[in-house]
Amino acid sequence: MKKLIIIIVLISFMTFPAQAFEFKRIIGLMSSSYSSRWPEFVYSWDAESSLNPFKENRVSFFGGAGLGFALRHNFELELEVLYKEIGSIYAFETPYYFREKYEYRMGMISVPLLFKYRFLKISQPYLLAGVDYSFILWHRCQVFSMPEGSAVYEKIIEADLERQTEKSDLALVLGAGVKIPMNRSKVNLEVRYEIGSGNLYRGPWLSATEPYPEVRSRQFLLVLGYSIIR
């Protein structure tokens, strides 16, 4: 499925005639989390799935660059390369009268391919949709414990989850934004929502009563881009 989507977007990229292109520097702020708790390494696995990127979320910055191509009929095509660190944070009470917290961090190179539709030519508000193919570089979890009567978490272990994690992720992207022209440059302000289409977990599952766990990425992004028109 991932390969089919990549082939489709590459064919679209080659068949749309580009009229001009922009080089864009990109920075942003992101809220990310997992749709379910990571299995095998969490005290209480929660099978409930959610699309809310602010539930048990992790906040981080990201950055990179992109190329935007003007197409016909107010359409644009944009290809980006970004570095992101997504993750999730779980904190809960245990039956042994102390709290535990699990902090997940996953580093990735993200390659979004986005189609944008402009409504106006002056202020240029637009809608966007596309796919984001990410190469997962690493995945780690830190575990903290807060004893009864204490107000401070203490780190007790750090685990490498690379072997239990897929090497890539494909996410669907929806959003909106606006371009603000400034002489021969433009500033882009965008909001994006991304939801992973595949299961990030690839580890063992020995339960005979529960279905195999499914953990998807979910992200909400605030994007600031600075474009130079060529």
**Spatial separation of the C-alpha atoms in residues 199 and 125, rounded to whole Å:** 34
Which pLDDT does position 43 carry in this prediction?
47
Which pLDDT does position 185 carry in this prediction?
79
Which pLDDT does position 29 carry in this prediction?
97
CATH fold for the domain made of 2-229:
Porin (2.40.160)
Residue written as token pair 């796919």: 131
- 60, 31, 82: which is closest to 217 by C-alpha? 31
Q: Which amino acid is at 106?
A: M
Give residue limits of the domains in the chain: 2-229
Angle at 152 between CA 43 and CA 61, to 5 degrees: 80
Which pLDDT does position 18 carry in this prediction?
47
Report whether 75 contacts 117 (CB < 8 A). Answer: yes
Q: What is the pTM of this model?
A: 0.83
**Spatial separation of the C-alpha atoms in residues 84 and 175, rounded to whole Å:** 18
| Residues 6+ positions from 14 with CB-CB distance below 8 Å | none
Residues with pLDDT less than 70, the chain: 1-20, 40-49, 94-97, 121-123, 149, 229-230
- 96, 89, 200: which is closest to 142 by C-alpha? 89
| Residues 6+ positions from 119 with CB-CB distance below 8 Å | 74, 125, 126
Mean pLDDT of the chain: 84
Phi-psi label, residue 17: left if phi above 0, alpha if psi -120 to 50, beta otherwise: beta
Locate the DSSP E strands across 71-183: 75-93, 99-118, 125-146, 154-160, 168-182
**Spatial separation of the C-alpha atoms in residues 196 and 84, rounded to whole Å:** 14
Terminal Cα distance for the chain, rounded: 36
Report whether 63 contacts 69 (CB < 8 A). Answer: no
The pairing of beta strand 168-182 with beta strand 217-229: unpaired
